[in-house]
Structure 1
Amino acid sequence: MNCQIEKRLGMKNLIKSKLELLIELGQLMELVLEQLMELLIEELMEELMELVLGQLKELELLYFDAFIPIEFNASSVYYIQKHQMDSF
């Protein structure tokens, strides 16, 4: 009788320790996933910033190409827009 009780207690403790290990493993996996997500977000943000800067440079070129000189003066140059910039 005592032998069966000891076996059951031993199994219970074994199962409990394995469950605790599984819980710790789950928590570690959660931390790793969070760190991976942060790294992925940082990398995606860098790529997005590069794309945005590229688009801004293209927009800047388009904006300055939209002006044509119409009159030269000793102190300044006057420009007139080729296209309406309202669409921006």
Structure 2
Amino acid sequence: MEKCSFCIQRINRTSRKAKSEGRELEDGEIQTACSAACGTHGIVFGDLNDPESRVSKLKNHKRAFTLLEQFGTDPNVIYLAKIDPNKKGSEEGHH
């Protein structure tokens, strides 16, 4: 098993293509293999430095959390806590 490279080859290929076309990358244009394969869109990849990107907005959501951040690991993977529709007091469980 290999460590995840965040599909650096896809990042480089898409970045080179945009540069050769004389344009900036669009939000969501770069897709990792796992995010492209996830039919439920449960994996999001993007530019955390762009406050308007989908991934930045998800990172700032109240359900967002990281693992081992307290140890100064500066994680690049952010998780969203599960929503329990049956939990009392959960605003997100209601329509």
TM-score, L = length of structure 1: 0.23
- Structure whose alpha-carbon radius of gyration is higher: 1
Quick check: which one's helix share is greater? Answer: 1
Quick check: which one's strand share is greater? Answer: 1
